Amino acid sequence: MAKADDKANGKAEQQTPANMPLFYTQPTPLDAKAHGDLGLKKNFGFGFTTGINAVPVNLIEMPQICHHYPIAFSPDGNATPVAILGLRDNENLFLKPDNTWEQDAYIPAYIRRYPFIFSEIPGGEQLTLCVDMNDKVVEKGGAQTFFDKEGKPTDLANNALEFCKSYHAAAQQTIKFSKALADAGVLVDREAQINVGGDKRINFSGFMIIDEKKLAELDDKTFLMFRKEGWLPFIYAHLFSGAQWQRLTKLLNSRLEKEAA
């Protein structure tokens, strides 16, 4: 079997400016005086996800994610669960040319949260709602304003605040889950070899998975702790998500056919 050229090989990567969360370039605390005339562009779409082949997911959404994407874990020591969006570098197979998402596919909460995010003040517990001041999504007199004429937050801003609160709480639970998996030693590096059209093979690397043998060999104390924490369904969701590599292969083959046309 001929191997694909280097451009076809892939690695799970989340590229972003230094010290910035994925997708965000200028997250700024929302302020009624400074941003009273700003709002979101109407239907700005999901173009901000272009070139991204993996995105973080939270623990509570893994049972939904597993029906649409392979779930892997980052190899950086944090063991962050991620949804794999593409098999080649800098390619999101779920993003359509018109910046819409693949039909009927669940959209991860990390993506749905954008362009809003919480900023955490160092040394404190206060969380501030921020918006990414990206001119591709924010504009003066935008269709969806952040504040009304009286300077009060609109439904958009209030809903974003509540969503970010829920996301933040879920993210804290996920950090605890990831640390426990890493400490238990059940995660292993893995490389996926995927056959695609044109007699090519893609080697996709840069991710970790739960090793079923190591999971089965866990000591009773650790396994019972996982059960007590309610983590077993999420572990199984990860294991079941392996079936979605086939979906990615199908999406990539479809794209390769269009590229060759």
Q: What is the DSSP string of the chain?
A: -PPPPGGG-EE-----STTS-TT-S-EEE--HHHHTTEEEPTT-TTGGGTT--EEE--GGGHHHHTTTS-EEE-SSSS--EEEE--SSTT--TTB-TTSPBPTTPPPPHHHHHTTEEEEE-TTS--EEEEEE--TTTEEET-SEESB-TTS-B-HHHHHHHHHHHHHHHHHHHHHHHHHHHHHHT-EEEEEEEEEETTTEEEEEEEEEEE-HHHHHT--HHHHHHHHHHT-HHHHHHHHHGGGGHHHHHHHHHHHHHHHH-
In the predicted model, what is the mean pLDDT of residues 135-151? Answer: 90
Domain boundaries, the chain: 6-260
Does pLDDT of 186 surpass 90? yes
pLDDT above 60 (res 18): no
Q: What is the chain's mean pLDDT, rounded?
A: 89
